[in-house]
Amino acid sequence: MGEYQNIHVTIEDRIAILTIDHPPANAFDRQTVMELDQAFDEMLNNDEVKVIIITGAGQFAFVAGADINELNKLKGYDDAKEVVLKGQELFNKIEKSPKPVIAAINAVCLGGGNELAMACHIRIASDRARFGQPEINLGIIPGWGGTQRLPRMVGKGKALELLLTGDMITAQEAYRIGLVNKVVPAGQVLKAAKDLARKIASKSKLPIAAILDCVNKGLKMSLEEGLLYEADRFAKLCETEDMREGVRAFLEKRQPKFKDK
């Protein structure tokens, strides 16, 4: 595996854990974004990895947003847009990943951190986590998807309230509005994420990738188009070894032994 300064990578039980470690608040500077991009690519190309977890080091922050010192050094429109597009490219890659990505949100999740979490497929949060898009307090707006993913996830009205006030909300409120999937006690976030990842990793990677693809693409289609796309992916899976194994295992009342083929 590659060596990184601000990202730690571990692999266990076919699960890759990418830990952002950039003290004191795991802020997203250019170095951290670049390393996360490279580490994520490495895990996408690793056939031994079926599920990816992204988390933050320490108890203070998952990711507390962009590096304010770097924002202060932006030289103008072109420089700012380059930074924004790079982050958008990474988060789009995460969202479109054929491997499930789980955000294990251990603490404060603000700005770019919240945008990263929203790009992941599933979000598990500590009961002490706090969420928000505070960019308006700096005289700017979110640039890595906050104005786009947040309203799609929680609805236009609630998203505008959070974006226009810059207020933080609790993990419990984030769960209530649909921003996170599950809230667990502090200290149990990574365990809960690993438990979920193991359950997913026990399935065949072929329908896993097909489900992610159908949902991501289907949300941009009409219902009729989405149903046709789903039918095509279903039919293709019916020609796989894993489909035959899954059906046989069900009829024989045993656990299937998938080969990802």
pLDDT at 132: 97
| Beta strand pairing call for 15-20 and 7-12 | antiparallel
Domain positions in the chain are 7-201, 205-251
pLDDT at 6 over 80: yes
Average pLDDT of 100-109? 97
| Active-site pick, 35, 42, 95, 135 | 135
pLDDT at 60: 87
pLDDT at 25 over 80: yes
pLDDT in tens, 175-220: 999 999 999 999 999 999 999 999 999 999 999 999 999 999 999 9
How much is the CA Rg of the chain, to the nearest whole Å? 19
The domain 205-251 is classified under which CATH number: 1.10.12, 1.10.760, 1.10.10, 1.10.3470? 1.10.12
pLDDT at 2 over 80: no
Q: Do the beta carbons of residue 159 and residue 138 sit within 8 Å?
A: no
| Active-site pick, 115, 225, 239, 252 | 115
d(CA 105, CA 5): 21
Contacts (Cβ under 8 Å, ≥6 apart) of 100: 50, 51, 52, 121, 122, 197, 200, 208, 212
Average pLDDT of 226-240? 97
Is 173 marked active-site? no
Q: Alpha helices of the chain — where are they, by DSSP H?
A: 30-44, 68-72, 77-95, 112-119, 146-154, 156-165, 171-176, 189-201, 205-218, 223-237, 241-251
pLDDT at 1 over 80: no
Greater model confidence, 71 or 126: 126
d(CA 227, CA 221): 9
pLDDT band at 3 (very low <50, low <70, confident <90, very high): confident
Is 161 marked active-site? no
Mean pLDDT of the chain: 96
pLDDT in tens, 8-19: 999 999 999 999
Burial (CB count <10 Å: 0-12, 13-18, 19+), residue 24: exposed
CATH 3.30.1950.10 for domain 7-201, yes or no, is no
pTM of the model: 0.95
pLDDT in tens, 46-99: 999 999 999 999 888 999 888 888 888 888 999 999 999 999 999 999 999 999
Average pLDDT of 34-56? 97
The answer, yes or no, to whether the previous bond of 24 is cis (omega within 30 of 0) is: yes
pLDDT in tens, 127-183: 999 999 999 999 999 999 999 999 999 999 999 999 999 999 999 999 999 999 999
pLDDT at 51: 98
Per the DSSP assignment, residues forming a β-bridge with 260 are none
d(CA 128, CA 200): 26
